[in-house]
């Protein structure tokens, strides 16, 4: 009798929840796959963000194109006005003024990551190194004129095609604004020098330089 009861009880017991076990394994597989996809999405998003951040970085000085005004340039006297009136207004003596106009001026302009180098070769060679950030530099006033003391210079504009410098002389002696604009051919530029006097008056001289 006891054996029959055990047999009957065994038949009434529900079968093991195999389907539930199988479902749990499948769910585990899905969760693992989802986590893998999530990690892949995160990695892809991070890569995209990194690429975007890199593209948003400003170009370095090496990556920027060299300005068109860089190089060696020679004055074309046929297309240029005389510089003597401005030199006279600045108190430069007669012989120096005449000699300066008789000489063919040469400009050599270069640019680094932080400065513009401006070399003028005429009666004498004068070199100025001007910071790109527009900071002032100071230097003694050139001899052979009435001015004494220090003057200061700075860049006021620099683009691919244009550069502008401002020189301020000692108190009461006015200033000089020097603007270079490269022509469309890229092989010449116009240099416009505006002499600002302390009384508010102006003298203007326009000169043409051609690239060597």
| pLDDT of the residue at 143 | 86
- Collapsed DSSP state (helix, strand, coil) of residue 192: strand
Euclidean distance between CA atoms 111 and 176, whole angstroms: 22
How many whole angstroms separate alpha carbon 100 and alpha carbon 207?
14
Task: State the Cα–Cα distance between residues 162 and 180, nearest whole angstrom.
Answer: 6
User: What pLDDT is recorded for position 3?
Assistant: 41
Tokens representing 50? 């990194």
What are φ and ψ of residue 125, in 5° steps?
Answer: -105, 125
Confidence of residue 26 (pLDDT cuts 50, 70, 90): very low
Confidence at residue 207, expressed as pLDDT on a 0 to 100 scale? 97
Mean pLDDT of 156-160: 97
Look at the pTM and tell me if it is higher than 0.85. Answer: no
Question: Where are the alpha helices (H) located in 16-107, listed in sequence order?
Answer: 18-56, 84-89, 94-102
Region 110-122: what's the mean pLDDT? 96
Q: Nearest-CA neighbor of 191 among 212, 165, 167?
A: 165
* Residue 95: predicted pLDDT: 92
């Amino acid at each position: 009798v006891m054996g029959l009861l055990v047999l009957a009880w065994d038949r009434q017991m529900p079968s093991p929840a195999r389907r539930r076990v199988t479902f749990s394994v499948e769910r585990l597989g899905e969760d693992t796959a989802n986590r893998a996809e999530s990690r892949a999405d995160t990695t892809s998003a991070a890569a995209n963000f990194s690429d975007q951040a890199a593209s948003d970085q400003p170009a370095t000085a090496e990556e920027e194109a060299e300005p068109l005004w860089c190089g060696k340039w020679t004055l074309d006297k046929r297309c240029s006005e005389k510089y003597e009136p401005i030199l006279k207004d600045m108190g430069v003596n007669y012989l120096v003024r005449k000699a300066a106009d008789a000489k063919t001026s040469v400009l050599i302009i270069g640019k680094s990551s932080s400065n513009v180098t401006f070399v003028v070769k005429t009666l004498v060679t004068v070199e100025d190194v001007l910071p790109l950030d527009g900071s002032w530099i100071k230097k003694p006033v050139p001899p052979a004129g009435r001015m004494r003391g220090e003057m200061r210079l700075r860049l006021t504009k620099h683009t691919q095609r244009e550069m502008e410098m401002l020189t301020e002389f000692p108190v009461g002696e006015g200033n000089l604004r020097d603007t270079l604009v490269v022509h469309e051919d890229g092989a010449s530029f116009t240099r416009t020098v505006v002499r600002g006097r302390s009384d508010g008056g102006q003298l203007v001289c326009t000169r043409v330089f051609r690239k060597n």
